[in-house]
Amino acid sequence: QVQLVESGGGLVQAGGSLRLSCAASGRTFSGYSMGWFRQAPGKEREFVAGISGSGSTYDADSVKGRFSISRDNTKNTVYLQMSNLKPEDTAVYYCATRLYSTWSSAVWSYAYWGQGTQVTVSS
């Protein structure tokens, strides 16, 4: 069993930045791929960024060049650094793990999820 605890969400003005954190516990963190997803009101959950167990990163086209995923295995934590935020980035952001080393963008392939953290970008 893996527990994921997220933090860092909040209200920010367009063009601003936020850093989301997701702390993992319950199993060894290193070696597992992680993903960030988001869900806006009335829309399905969508992939934002992923990082493999080996550290390779992947970004959705909608956030490429603005968001950056990283991990610190010494702290069992994955981060999502968000910059140049836009109102359309407003959503609940979730972190998740597949308990596997390779990366996937498919929501259904992730077994464990955090509680979600709200990000609101004002115009």
Which are the contacts of 12, defined by CB distance < 8 A and separation ≥ 6? 18, 85, 119, 120, 121, 122
pLDDT in tens, 25-83: 876 677 889 999 999 999 999 999 999 988 999 999 999 999 999 999 889 999 999 99
Tokens of 33: 């791929």
According to the model, what pLDDT value does residue 63 have?
A: 97
How would residue 101 be classed by pLDDT, with cut points 50, 70 and 90? confident
According to the model, what pLDDT value does residue 69 have?
A: 97
According to the model, what pLDDT value does residue 98 have?
A: 87
Rounded CA gap, 35 and 4, in Å? 12
Which are the contacts of 116, defined by CB distance < 8 A and separation ≥ 6? 6, 39, 92, 93, 94
pLDDT at 103 over 90: no
Share of the chain above pLDDT 90, in %: 81
How would residue 84 be classed by pLDDT, with cut points 50, 70 and 90? very high
pLDDT at 1 over 80: no
Phi-psi region of 108 (alpha: psi -120 to 50; beta: other; left: phi over 0): alpha
